Amino acid sequence: MRQILVAGNWKLNGSLDSITQLITGITAGEDDTGKTQIAVCPPFVYIPVVADLLADSKIAWGSQDVSDRDAGAFTGEVAGAMLRDFGCTYAIVGHSERRSLYAEDDAFTARKFAAARRAGLTPILCVGETLEEREQGITEDVVARQLDAVIKLEGIGAIGESVIAYEPVWAIGTGKTASPQQAQDVHAFIRGKLAGLDKAVADKVQILYGGSVKGANATELFAMADIDGGLIGGASLDAGEFLAICKAGG
Ligand code: PEP
């Protein structure tokens, strides 16, 4: 049985004060979250603070991005090994905001995925279609292309040591959640595609859903056969809401 993983992506939000309050609120309720695996992904600069605050907690932490490079003259970049130095378990790669706002393409995302693994981080690989692509009926083609870039570079085995997040771009931060069935259909497609290459990998990999998940819709989503948790944006900034989502997976 795959465990449910709920990962919060805080994006470009927070201050030292608000992050301390948020972590205090989440840890106060973590005992009621059952077997759900939980992670938070703060902005880079707050990772050491979050690491200290979570030292006695079951909650893991990760980064929202990682450099494709390991070291050298790459101004502004943060390497995977640096993130490991501060106890990160996960690194999100290929978030749709990185793909669309910072022009990060499939090949670049695959190199970031590889860099995360070289450093011992578990990549959370985001895939998903835009509204236009869904309306054109090419959702599966888009998701397959995004996955294939990583499989080509790193091999199918590497997917088994990562987490996939299916995030339809039209549902991110819009309040429009994919229906549980719409999400399940794409999750089943992803798992089926992976099974065609390696059944053990397909059975093992956690596939998260992301896109306007809240306490009120998490139970239905997590009840679907191929949905193994959520990548949570807006709702992860509210301790009560985030805990409600975590409880839905417990
Ligand atoms: C995200 O950005 O990964 C996300 C799922 O955001 P939201 O939950 O706010 O839609």
Tens of pLDDT, residue by residue over 119-142, are: 999 999 999 999 999 999 999 999
* Ligand 1 close to Cβ of residue 236 (< 6 A): no
With beta carbons less than 8 A apart as the criterion, state whether 159 and 201 touch.
yes
Whether ligand 1 lies within 6 angstroms of the CB of 94 is answered as no
Whole-prediction pTM: 0.97
Structure tokens at 231: 């990548």
Average pLDDT, the chain: 97
- Any catalytic annotation for residue 95? yes
Instruction: Region of 77 please: left (phi>0), alpha (psi -120 to 50) or beta.
Output: beta
Q: How confident is the model at residue 176 (pLDDT cuts 50, 70, 90)?
A: confident
- Rounded CA-CA distance 90/163 in Å is 9
Measured from the CA of 92, which atom of ligand 1 is nearest? Answer: 3
What pLDDT is stored for residue 162 in this prediction? 98
Task: State the DSSP code for 238.
Answer: S
With beta carbons less than 8 A apart as the criterion, state whether 194 and 202 touch: yes
Q: What is the reported pLDDT for 211?
A: 95
At residue 156, the pLDDT reads 98
Query: What pLDDT is recorded for position 173?
Result: 84
Check residue 177 and give its pLDDT. Answer: 84
pLDDT tens-place string over residues 45-87: 999 999 999 999 999 999 999 999 999 999 999 999 999 999 9
Q: Is 77 a catalytic residue?
A: no
| Per-residue model confidence (pLDDT) at position 28 | 97
Which is higher by pLDDT, 176 or 242? Answer: 242
**Token code pair at residue 94:** 């290929």
Average pLDDT over residues 86-112: 98
On the 0-12 / 13-18 / 19+ scale of CB atoms within 10 A, 102 is exposed
Average pLDDT over residues 115-122: 98
